[in-house]
């Protein structure tokens, strides 16, 4: 079921828009976000919960998702990318994924 959703989401994103893709991956412990240029196949900006500036022990996962959303938005805007297509992958738009997306929007990313 999840693989079908992942393929469907990516297919629709690539078919409908030519924007850069904001891809999100969530593991049991960490959360990752990347801005990808599909025409070249390169990662332009990334943020994750494994970075040095983020303290994993004191914060809960929801505040971590908010911080990662802000970081990815700031880094992509620094590179000149303001409009992206949100690729939630195999995950539902709920919980951590929604928090990350909302915090990226509040920082100025458009999707």
- Distance between CA atoms of residues 76 and 80, nearest Å: 6
- Distance between CA atoms of residues 33 and 71, nearest Å: 9
Q: What is the pLDDT of residue 22?
A: 95
Residues 21-48 have pLDDT tens digits of 999 999 999 999 999 998 899 999 999 9
- Distance between CA atoms of residues 107 and 69, nearest Å: 8
DSSP reduced 3-state for 72: helix
- Architecture field, domain 2-106: 2-Layer Sandwich (3.30)
- Where are the domains positioned within the chain? 2-106
Q: What is the pLDDT of residue 56?
A: 67
CB contact at 8 A, 68 and 100: yes
User: What 3 state SS string does 8-41 have?
Assistant: HHHHHHHHHCCCEEEEEEECCCCEEEEEEECCCC
Residues 60-99 have pLDDT tens digits of 889 999 999 999 999 999 999 999 999 999 999 999 999 9
């Amino acid at each position: 079921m999840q693989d079908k959703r992942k393929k469907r989401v990516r297919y629709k994103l690539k078919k409908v828009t030519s924007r850069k893709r904001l891809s999100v991956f969530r593991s049991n412990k960490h959360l990752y976000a990347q801005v990808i240029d599909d025409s070249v196949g390169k990662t332009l900006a990334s943020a994750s919960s494994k970075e040095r500036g983020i303290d994993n022990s004191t914060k809960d996962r929801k505040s971590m998702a908010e911080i990662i959303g802000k970081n990815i938005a700031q880094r992509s805007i620094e590179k000149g990318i303001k409009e992206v297509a949100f690729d939630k992958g195999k995950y539902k738009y709920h919980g951590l994924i929604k928090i990350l997306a909302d915090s990226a929007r509040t920082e100025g990313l458009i999707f």
